[in-house]
Amino acid sequence: MPLVSDTTPPMVAVYMICYNCEAYIAQAIEGVLRQQADFAIRLFIGDDASTDATASICKAYKERFPQQIELLLHPVNIGAVNNAKTVYEACLNSGAKYVAMCEGDDYWTDPDKLQKQVRLLEANPQYSLCFHEAVLLNMETGEEELYLEYSRDVYNTEDVLRTGAFVPTLSIVFRTAGFHFPAWYFSVSIGDAALVLMNSIRGDIVLMREKMGVYRKHRAGISVAMEANQIRLALESVKLLHYFNLHTQLAFDAVVQEVNTDTLYRLKHFTPYRKVSDTRPLWQKLGAADFWKRKVKELVG
């Protein structure tokens, strides 16, 4: 990986968060260190007080590559969202022109990945974010498959709203110029989807049709836990789009309402909430303890 000095901002800041990733973190770091580029790269790792050997492995890499790696170790567990916030802030404050994403249990396989993505973004200012195809590796079975099949290469905000979480987080590279996180961003659990959505209002999202990384699917993964609880995932999606709708001053209101209606329709057997006098946002109504107590009583008699 090209050296970056303490005084010169990198072209790319690499965001990496981890918690109890001792079996994976070395491969994630190595994928970044192997990058061949004609610009400077700096890796920012946030470890959220791992209870295994993750922090020790990160420290060993920091000692070997002190200029390429910035290590953010939390003495106590602050949670995935706050860990992410800390690393994002470090990346943006580094002065980098781009931020690339790779969480600690995923890894990059192409040493020219960043060079290719930055070259594309440099030549096409109409794009705010570049992503690429990825391999999904099932850690229980060892089976590999394409993360997703894409029917097109360029997506606008309406496409992102309708498609949902379709971008592999490990594949993202986005521009930092003019980018900031709104206060509500760190109150939603599906931050990767929110990140893509926020970038989409700054320019189109573009796909590179090359498999340049691996997404590990395992029981400890946050996304797997979210998938296992479809109700929670649906509520978080509604919550995200509510905030996004307000953030964009209802510029995409028709699409937001369409998507939210579809989401809640698919959960209608869980969510027949019709109390007109309750003016709380819908996700708060559906997530309220009194609502679920009533639903459990209805279900079990």
* pTM reported for the whole predicted model: 0.86
**Average pLDDT for the chain:** 87
Nearest Cα to 17, choosing from 126, 90, 93?
A: 90
Position 274 confidence tier, pLDDT thresholds 50, 70, 90: very low
Q: What is residue 258's predicted lDDT score, i.e. its pLDDT?
A: 87
pLDDT-above-90 percentage for the chain: 70
Flag whether pLDDT at 2 surpasses 90.
no
Q: What is residue 189's predicted lDDT score, i.e. its pLDDT?
A: 85
Domains of the chain by start residue, with CATH: 12-218 (3.90.550.10), 229-300 (no CATH)
Flag whether pLDDT at 37 surpasses 50.
yes
- How do residues 193-237 score in pLDDT, each as one tens digit? 999 999 999 999 999 999 999 999 866 655 544 444 667 777 788
Q: What is residue 301's predicted lDDT score, i.e. its pLDDT?
A: 38
Flag whether pLDDT at 121 surpasses 50.
yes
